A and B are shown apart, each in its own frame.
Chain A
């Protein structure tokens, strides 16, 4: 079975603090894909990043960085120098490469991040 766990339900930080959102996944697939989405108060889920299981390089995009560790089945997301506009619910998601179900994403329950000025 596949599963994504985001243990942090809510996090509150003050602007300019760094914050890390945790994501732990379970899968039996040897090839799989991990995603992070952001859902601002307006409601639309915005795609942030994808990572293939065979590519363990970490990635940085501006103030965002992602740490993929296969050994611990984790795909954590760090926001550096957080801003009020980062306030949103963040979802981690997993997709296996098993035949048939081409696009199914398994979502974690999300972490609500509040950044206070």
Chain B
């Protein structure tokens, strides 16, 4: 079974702090993703990565950055946390298979509920 592990289930930080959310997967997946989930808005993609040191912006990258130094680890960084970044953050990973068979599902972690005070 694929295991995606997020370092914290709950996190409370203060405005202006630099916040790191860590995600590790154990299935040698090339693709990794960070989403945030808010009531009424569903899941929105923040950043994703399809290889070590590679990253691409998703739909809402502002205020965030990411780091992928090793294949199994994908970190989300809030450079200067603000209250509007209070949310549930979900990490996911998937295999990278190009072409007509690129229907590999994403596997999700348990989520980190982040509160910025």
Contacts and interface: CB of A to CB of B under 8 A. Distances in A.
A93 to B, nearest CB: 8
B31 A103 contact: yes
Interface string A14-43: 000000000000000001010101000011
Interface stretch (B12-20, B37-45, B66-74): B37-45
Contacts of A97: 99-100, 102
Interface in B48-103: 48, 50, 56, 58, 88, 90, 92, 94, 96, 98-100, 102-103
B31 A43 contact: no
Nearest to A4: B42
Contacts, number: 64
Nearest to A110: B42
Contacts of A91: 42-43
Interface string A74-103: 000000000000000001000101000111
A34 to B, nearest CB: 9
B107 to A, nearest CB: 7
Looking at chain A's contact residues, the main secondary structure is loop
Contact of A44 (B33, B43, B99, B110): B110
A52 B103 contact: yes
Interface residues of A, number: 25
Contacts of A95: 102-103
Nearest to A31: B100
A22 B103 CA distance: 21
B40 A47 contact: no
A27 B90 CA distance: 25
B105 A47 contact: yes
Nearest to B92: A45
Given A33-B103, A43-B110, A97-B100, A103 B42 contact: no
Nearest to B51: A102
Contacts of A54: 100
Nearest to A36: B105
Interface string A45-70: 11100101010000000000000000
B60 to A, nearest CB: 13
